Chain A
Amino acid sequence: MKIGLLLALLLITPLTFAQNLYVKLGEKQGIKTIVEEMLYRVGGDARIAHHFDGVDIMRVHKLISEQVCDLSGGPCDYSGEDMKTAHRNMGIDNADFNALVEHLIAAMEKQDIPVSAQNQLLALLAPMHSDIVED
């Protein structure tokens, strides 16, 4: 009985933890706003805007929002390509990646997302670096 309770607790803890991040990011609406602000800034950044020439930005907005919702423990299932396939042959370098991260941070700051939640999301995204950056 006790062990069962403990096990249940152990199983639930990471879930509630993740749930927390989703909530801290403002749930679906908050995440949509953050991703929109990020993409808006990316579009105005001459260092990386060219990567998005001819791209269906509404679709990318939907997919990144879905992905962040999923990663942060929200009730979403990411339906897009894996990161390696999605960014293949784009020639994205380290500086491009950092530029996008800067815009994500700026977007989260604008939404007054606490630093702790910002760090949690950044730590979930950083491992994608090796799949996205080609050099």
Chain B
Amino acid sequence: MRKPLLFGNSTLLVCALFFTPLTFADQGARLLATGGASMLEGSGGGGIVPWATLSSYSGEDQLGVTVSLSEVTVDDFRLSVQGASFSWNNRIELSYAEQTFDLSTIGGELSQDIVGAKVRLAGDLIYGDLPQISIGAQHKKNKDYALPSAVGSQDDSSVDWYVSAAKAWLDGPFHRTWVANLTLRSSKANQLGLLGFGGDKEDSRDWLAEASVATFINRYWAVGIEYRQKPDNLSFAKEQDWKDLFVAYFPSKHVSVVGAYTDLGSIAGLDDQTGWYLSVQAAF
């Protein structure tokens, strides 16, 4: 009797898939800018921090899709990221990012794939007293492991876990709308994971704090700062916290552009890596 039952269930599922009024977020069910941008690891967020908000503007029973291109150019390195995300029902976000790290001065290239998932657990960015609270995971896998392995990395893949809370104040200081996000991440990733996971100096997970604050000058332009703690697992070179100062532009619900001045500290023994970040996202 098991089989027919199973069959019955899957028919039901197929029917549900076909008849659920699944619509694309063309006009969007959420307010402008609440879709945010795509951060460096593909998740919806600011520039370097994943936020509790979900990418795109999809609301109840809607599917949203984003694609993004980001580029960070600092003194001795260049990071290029191509990303895409799906979000559904303002509840779940799935993301993918491919990172290529050009070791301009040292020579060579590192790269990794990141598959991410995020679930909104409670609250809302704008309405109600509770902040919007989400949990997420980013599964990272190196594609070039020779260098990370040579400098002491212990693993070529790992999962970062995080919990984020975000809140907007419509009429904050100076009668401007302010948004703040706090993320706590458990990670073993060296320089986002581009230099592998865990190290000869330390091979355990760290809890890392990441924060962003932004203010909207008007409906379309926001400025903000971000801070991201980093682990320090490899003995060959120290790793430092990241910071950036950004300007975000939301001309419509279909496009967002983020530019930032970034300070990535010391990377692979080369100090004071500062430079520019540019990210463009299209949302459907």
Q: A: which residues have CB within 8 A of B?
A: 47, 93-95, 98-99, 101-102, 105, 109, 115-117, 119-120, 122-123, 126, 129-130, 133, 135
Contacts A109-B219, A122-B170 given: A93-B175 contact, CB under 8 Å? no
CB distance from A102 to the nearest CB of B (A): 7
Q: Which residues of B contact A102 (CB under 8 A)?
A: 31-32
CB distance from A96 to the nearest CB of B (A): 9
Question: With A and B bound together, what is the CA distance between A99 and B57 in angstroms?
Answer: 12
Q: Which residues of A contact B31 (CB under 8 A)?
A: 98, 101-102
CB pair B127 A116 closer than 8 Å = no
CB pair B127 A115 closer than 8 Å = no
Contacts A93-B60, A95-B60, A98-B29 given: A126-B127 contact, CB under 8 Å? yes
Question: With A and B bound together, what is the CA distance between A112 and B269 in angstroms?
Answer: 53
Question: With A and B bound together, what is the CA distance between A117 and B218 in angstroms?
Answer: 11
Question: With A and B bound together, what is the CA distance between A116 and B219 in angstroms?
Answer: 11
Question: With A and B bound together, what is the CA distance between A39 and B114 in angstroms?
Answer: 45
Question: With A and B bound together, what is the CA distance between A122 and B59 in angstroms?
Answer: 20
- Which listed residue, A98, A99, A116, A133, touches B175 by the CB 8 Å rule? A116
Q: Which residues of A contact B30 (CB under 8 A)?
A: 95, 98
Q: Which residues of B contact A117 (CB under 8 A)?
A: 175
CB pair B174 A126 closer than 8 Å = no
Residue of B with least CB distance to A129: B127
Residue of A with least CB distance to B128: A130
Per DSSP, chain B at the interface is loop
Question: With A and B bound together, what is the CA distance between A46 and B170 in angstroms?
Answer: 27
CB pair A105 B60 closer than 8 Å = no
Contacts A98-B29, A126-B126, A126-B170 given: A115-B60 contact, CB under 8 Å? no
Question: With A and B bound together, what is the CA distance between A80 and B59 in angstroms?
Answer: 30
- Which listed residue, A95, A130, A135, touches B127 by the CB 8 Å rule? A130
Task: Determine if B27 is an interface residue (Cβ-Cβ < 8 Å).
Answer: yes
Q: Which residues of A contact B219 (CB under 8 A)?
A: 105, 109, 115
Chain B: residues with Cβ within 8 Å of the partner, total of 24
Q: B: which residues have CB within 8 A of A?
A: 27, 29-32, 59-60, 90, 124, 126-128, 169-172, 174-177, 216-219
CB distance from A100 to the nearest CB of B (A): 11
Per DSSP, chain A at the interface is helix
CB distance from A126 to the nearest CB of B (A): 6
Residue of A with least CB distance to B34: A98
Q: Which residues of A contact B60 (CB under 8 A)?
A: 93-95, 135
Q: Which residues of A contact B172 (CB under 8 A)?
A: 119
- Which listed residue, A94, A109, A115, touches B59 by the CB 8 Å rule? A94
CB distance from B167 to the nearest CB of A (A): 12
Contacts A94-B29, A98-B29 given: A123-B171 contact, CB under 8 Å? yes
Question: With A and B bound together, what is the CA distance between A129 and B30 in angstroms?
Answer: 14
CB pair A47 B170 closer than 8 Å = no
Question: With A and B bound together, what is the CA distance between A95 and B27 in angstroms?
Answer: 10
Q: Which residues of B contact A99 (CB under 8 A)?
A: 27, 29
CB pair A119 B27 closer than 8 Å = no
Question: With A and B bound together, what is the CA distance between A61 and B27 in angstroms?
Answer: 25
CB distance from A92 to the nearest CB of B (A): 12
Q: Which residues of B contact A95 (CB under 8 A)?
A: 29-30, 59-60
CB pair B171 A120 closer than 8 Å = yes
CB pair A123 B170 closer than 8 Å = yes
Residue of B with least CB distance to A120: B171
Q: Which residues of A contact B124 (CB under 8 A)?
A: 94
CB pair A116 B29 closer than 8 Å = no
Interface centre among B59, B90, B172 (most CB of A within 10 A): B59
Contacts A93-B60, A102-B31, A105-B219 given: A119-B177 contact, CB under 8 Å? yes
Question: With A and B bound together, what is the CA distance between A116 and B216 in angstroms?
Answer: 11
A-B contact pairs, 16 of them (CB 8 A): A94-B59, A94-B127, A95-B29, A98-B29, A102-B31, A102-B32, A115-B216, A116-B176, A117-B175, A119-B170, A120-B175, A122-B170, A122-B171, A123-B170, A123-B171, A126-B170
